[in-house]
Amino acid sequence: KQEVTQIPAALSVPEGENLVLNCSFTDSAIYNLQWFRQDPGKGLTSLLLIQSSQREQTSGRLNASLDKSSGRSTLYIAASQPGDSATYLCAVENYGQNFVFGPGTRLSVLP
Amino acid sequence: NAGVTQTPKFQVLKTGQSMTLQCAQDMNHEYMSWYRQDPGMGLRLIHYSVGAGITDQGEVPNGYNVSRSTTEDFPLRLLSAAPSQTSVYFCASSRGGSPLHFGNGTRLTVT
């Protein structure tokens, strides 16, 4: 059974810092991995999707990497801003379109 | 495009009552799914569908029914609500290999 974990569970940083969020999964036979952002009381918004054949994806200040063989992904956020404060979740898509989510990292960026 | 639309946004039920949570998408996505999100438990898959007429169980299907008669709609039915079904419910859709799109959620309380 696929299990997804995220470290740290919560993170508080001053504005301007670069930071790394970690995601680990137990079964490397994945179709892709996605990173999402969730604001309080809202749904999830997709940030980046990395296909299993790719090593990384970038969007603006966000960069996500994937090491399928070791079951790890990282989300790098450059020059963090207070507007980045949210919960960040990773999810792996197993073959058969079965998505498994991690518990999330709650990020606070202090002005 | 409206994306993924969920109704209602809030609902309070008494134990034993039934109700249907509605989900509709206008992106012609073949994949649709229902999740529940509980504190400390993350997002858990209830049911999913890979196309009209096809449904399958996820991690926590007990107490819930689904059907997929059209590509656009994927309703979730609670036949006899229980307090353990108090949660926030999210509907999501995607096309194979593309990002997962979420609705804004339905907050359900069962008393």
Within 13 Å, how many C-alpha atoms sit on residue A66's CB side? 24
- The span from the CA of B27 to the CA of B6, in Å, is 14
pLDDT at residue B41, as a whole number: 78
Interchain contact A53–B (C-beta under 8 A): no
- The span from the CA of B2 to the CA of B10, in Å, is 19
Task: Answer whether A102 sits within 8 Å of B105, measured CB to CB.
Answer: no
Measured over the CA atoms of residue A67, residue B31, residue A9 and residue B41, the dihedral's sign is negative
Q: Give the pLDDT band of residue B82 (cuts 50, 70, 90).
A: very high
Task: Answer whether B103 sits within 8 Å of A43, measured CB to CB.
Answer: yes
3-class SS at B38?
A: strand
Q: Go through B25-34 and write b for each residue having 16 or more CB atoms within 10 A of its CB, e for each that does not.
A: beeebbbbbb
Interchain contact A59–B (C-beta under 8 A): no
pLDDT at residue A92, as a whole number: 94
In angstroms, what is the C-alpha Rg of chain B? 13
pLDDT at residue B63, as a whole number: 96
Task: Answer whether A99 sits within 8 Å of B102, measured CB to CB.
Answer: no
User: What's the pLDDT tens digit per position in B32-81?
Assistant: 999 999 987 789 999 999 999 999 999 899 999 999 999 999 999 999 99
Instruction: Report the candidate in B31, B22, B9, B2 with the shortest Cα–Cα distance to residue B104.
Output: B9
User: What's the pLDDT tens digit per position in A8-53?
Assistant: 999 999 999 999 999 999 999 999 999 999 998 889 999 999 999 9
Q: Are A68 and A52 in contact (CB under 8 A)?
A: yes
Task: Answer whether B42 sits within 8 Å of A101, measured CB to CB.
Answer: yes
